[in-house]
Amino acid sequence: MIEVSSVEAAQCIRDGDTIAITGNGGGMLEADEIFAAIEARFLASGHPRDLTLVHALGVGDADRRGVNRFAHEGMVRRVVGGHWSWSPRMQKLARDNKIEAFTLPSGVISLLMRETGAKRPGLITRVGLNTAYDPRLGGGAANDAAKAARPISEIVTLGGEDYIRYLPIRPDIAIVRGTYCDELGNISCAEEAGDLDAHAVALAARNSGGRVLVQVREKRKSSDCIARLVQVPGVLVDQVVLAPNQPQTHVGGYEPSIAGVPHAAPAPDTKFAGLSLPSGARGIIARRAAGEIRAGQSVNFGFGIPGGIAAVLTAQARLKDIWLTVEQGIHNGQLIDGALFGAAAFPSAIMRSTDQFDFYSGGGVDIAFLGAGEIDAKGNVNVSRLGRDVVGPGGFVDISQGAKSVVFCGTFEASGLSVHASGGRLSIDKDGSIPKFVEDVREVTFCGPSALAKGQSVLYVTERAVFRLTKDGLTLVEVAPGIDAERQVLDRMAFRPQVASDLAAMDARCFVEDFGGDGGASLAKAGGGHA
């Protein structure tokens, strides 16, 4: 292990290199000082250029940090990313076909790094079958430049069943982050909000003949380091950059509780904030969705509207009754919403995200709550391509295909929708200008027919109506009190769904301002409405 400056680390990157990075939106495990040095070198000299960038999760702040550091024309040639929303500049390069833009499920990318590092023949998995990541349906190629490039996956048949083989990606450079290192280069993430896929990314580069660059806040003596807190052993590490001002997240400073320190009081100068009860349409959806949860279940919440469900459960004193996980490797705790989604205060365990994705793809989640951008008559869902932009699926595919039950949560329409609830009834103040129930989704991120074939329970919750996936397709099963089913639901859909013969009203308790306490518990016991 050699200690270098960020400028020196940036100098070791060559034109055409493949770079794999760690990180998560909000700055979790993001080596931004190294990223900034690489960016500065490119802006000054035009090098390194024609890079391939690989990242499993969204990395950045939707402005200048993270993946945004690489979003300059000529700097990158190809990006394989799990989630793109934190870098609008990279999204623009993809939209303009200035790069080859590939999206893959986040778990696929992280696990592919591990498989590459182990010299196995790529990642062979069912994750992605019959979605936009199936090589027969595009293979994750998200723009014309990617569609013209060499595929990154193929179908293989084992024991008479089809699988996707995601081909190995061999990084020339891995850039990861930790809290501190010792003299031997052992890296600990002890004060980070997550471990993510740091070990897998470093392993992939090291065993592919590449170099591993690590950014840490400080260097300690080996005698002051605990072996069990080492996430990346020194044998994998080539260069270490000390960044004394490295913040724990983009919020800044150090918050012990999100690093899993038990009984830690919030730092006095922190801007850290936990969950607040969702309001408006998001609050209605979160309340109704929370009614699907039973005590003892293993539960996953996705980013966006589903992230508000944890606050509802907290208000109802029900969070303690479930086992909560998110894809970043967090188990239980007080889930944080918004830009720091993926972290939690006082988690009971922080695992590698690779281990978490193994849990998901193996069917470890009883019920998952995920967002929905578009929904069609077959129950297909699109969250990965919205408007003109490449968004990517994040962990959506890994989670939705493995969970026993899935509840999709989203507003009935987008762009301009305004609603209010009063006295147990819903009123639509202004309709949204973009329909979300469409004839055919632009991109299949979740395949309804495949879910039916394997017996998954699938529900779609909006602020005004609830739908269930049945053998006859999407079926309307509940309508909000105060809503005209024909005029305000069915007439505003691009297709005519089935309508349940026992069409029910959504529980009126979803349409009140105070939904904590017994009301929420009673709704959960009642089964959340139509069964």
d(CA 499, CA 504): 10
φ/ψ of 395, rounded to 5, equals: -90, 5
The DSSP line for 466-517 is: EEEEETTEEEEEEE-TT--IIIIIGGGSSS--EEEEEEEEPPGGGGSS---H
Residues belonging to the active site: 327
Q: Is the separation of the CB atoms in 291 and 300 below 8 Å?
A: no
Per-residue pLDDT in tens (0 to 9) along the chain, 531 residues: 899 999 999 999 999 999 999 999 889 999 999 999 999 999 999 999 999 999 999 999 999 999 999 999 999 999 999 999 999 999 999 999 999 999 999 999 999 999 999 999 999 999 999 999 999 999 999 999 999 999 999 999 999 999 999 999 999 999 999 999 999 999 999 999 999 999 999 999 999 999 999 999 999 999 999 999 999 999 999 999 999 999 999 988 889 999 999 876 666 555 555 556 778 899 999 999 999 999 999 999 998 889 889 989 988 999 999 999 999 999 999 888 878 889 999 999 999 999 999 999 999 999 999 999 999 999 999 999 998 899 999 999 999 999 999 999 999 999 999 999 989 999 999 999 999 999 999 999 999 999 999 999 999 999 999 999 999 999 999 999 999 999 999 999 999 999 999 999 999 999 986 544 434 444 444 444 332
φ/ψ of 517, rounded to 5, equals: 65, -145
Q: Is the separation of the CB atoms in 346 and 320 below 8 Å?
A: no
pTM: 0.94
Could you tell me which residues come within 8 angstroms of residue 358 by beta carbon, excluding any fewer than 6 positions away? Answer: 111
> Which is nearest to 293 in space by CA: 171, 150, 408, 405?
405
